[in-house]
Amino acid sequence: MAIGKRKSTAVEIPDSLPHSEATTAIEPALLQELKGFNSQEQLVLCELIKRTRRDRSVNGPVDELAVVVNGLRDFSTEDEWLFFLKLNEKIAPNLHKEFIGAKKIQLDTMVPTVDKSISEVINSRTSVRDFNGSALSLEKLSTLLGQACGVRGTMFSYNRRDVALRNFPTAGGLQCTELYLVVNGVSDLPQGLYHYNPTQNCLELIEKGNFRWRVINCCPNHEWLSEASVVIFIATDISRLTWKYGAYRSYRLAHLETGVASQNLHLVATALGLGSCMVFGFDDERTDSLLGLDGRREFTTLVVAFGNKVDKGALLRKITSRSDSISTD
C-alpha cells in the first residue's frame, strides 16, 4: 500500500470497523486528524484503532497515544511502517514541563568552571553514602544541575522552534527526562519538593516541608538518605518518545537516557567535591505518588543522593584522640 498525499476528505469507515463504533469510540481530536488522511491511510488508522480496543480491552474513547503505543508494535506490512514514519513530519509533543503558578527560585546562570580534568574526575568517582548533614550551597546546586542537565541553546526540530539542546544526549532530541528534588539542606533554599525547569534555569516549588521520612518511606532500608543535602528523583515522560519510537523501543530509550543523565550528575558532583550515590531500591508506587506521577505516562526511573562527604580522616583522628585521652586517664 503506497502512502498517498494527504487531502481533506470524508472519513471512509472500513467494513472491519462498524460506523457506530468508529464515531463513538474515537476522541474528537483523533477523529479530526483522521479526516486529513486519504482513504488508504484511513484504513490503516482504523485497523490500528480496532487492534487497540481488542488488545487492551479499551472501553472508553481511543486517543492518539493509545493507538500509537498499541498499534506500532504490531505492523504487518512495510507500508504501515512507512505510514507511521510520516509521524516525524508532525509537531512533537511538548518537551518541557512547567508547574504553572508555582514559586520559582532562579538558579545562577554564571556557574563556576570546574578546574579538574575529565580523567581525574572519572578515576575519583565513587559511590558515597556517608554524608555529614551540612548544608549544600545554592551555587553548587546550580552548578550541579546546570552543568549536568542544563540547556545551552534551542533549535528548530519536529516543526517546533523551542527544542532545547541539553548537556546530555537524548533519544531523538526528545528529552523525556525530568528531575524532581527533595531539598533537605541547601543554603538560602527552604526544605521541600521541587521540580527542575531547565529551559528557565529555575527550581519550581511543589510543596514546602521536611520530606526526609517520606523519602525513606519510598526507599526502604536506606536510612542514610536522611543525611543527604539533596535527593534527586529522575523521572520519565514516556509520551515524548512513543509518538516516534513506539512503546517497546521507547521504554528502552528512556532508561538509557536516565543512565546518561545520572552519570553526568555523578561526574559533576565528583568535580565539585560532593558525594553521590544511586538508589535502585525504591518503591515505584510510593515514589510516583510522592512526585505526583501517574506511573504510566510518567514514572520514576532512578533516585540519586548528593551531599557533603564525611571527612573520615578527621573522624578517625578524633576517635583516636579520644581513645588516647581515656587510656591516659
- Give the pLDDT score at 28: 64
CA distance 258 to 269: 16
pLDDT in tens, 194-229: 999 999 999 999 999 999 999 999 999 999 999 999
Q: How confident is the model at residue 19 (pLDDT cuts 50, 70, 90)?
A: very low
Max mean pLDDT among 12-21, 28-37, 146-155 falls in: 146-155
pLDDT digit string, tens, across residues 228-286: 999 999 999 999 999 888 888 999 999 999 999 999 999 999 999 999 999 999 999 99
Q: Report pLDDT for 237.
A: 96
User: What pLDDT is stored for residue 94 in this prediction?
Assistant: 86
Q: What is the average pLDDT score of the chain?
A: 80
CB atoms under 10 Å from CB of 176, counted, come to: 23
Looking at residue 20, its pLDDT comes to: 40
More confident residue, 304 or 91: 304
The neighbouring-strand residues paired with 275 are 307
Residue 25's pLDDT band (cuts 50, 70, 90): low
Q: Is residue 75 very low, low, confident or very high in pLDDT (cuts 50, 70, 90)?
A: low
High-pLDDT (> 70) share of the chain, %: 66
Mean pLDDT in residue range 17-42:
58
Q: Is residue 56 very low, low, confident or very high in pLDDT (cuts 50, 70, 90)?
A: low
Long-range contacts of 320-329 (CB under 8 A, 24+ apart): none
Q: Are 276 and 127 in contact (CB under 8 A)?
A: yes
Opening angle at CA 109, ends 106 and 112, nearest 5: 125
How far apart CA 126 and CA 304 sit, in angstroms, is 13
Q: Could you say which architecture CATH assigns to the domain 103-313?
A: 3-Layer(aba) Sandwich (3.40)
pLDDT of residue 180: 98
Q: Where are the domains of the chain?
A: 19-89, 103-313
Lowest-confidence segment of 20-34, 97-111, 237-251, 290-304 by average pLDDT: 20-34
Predicted confidence (pLDDT) at residue 2 exceeds the cutoff of 50: no
According to the model, what pLDDT value does residue 284 have? 96
Residue type at position 167: N
| pLDDT value, residue 10 | 40
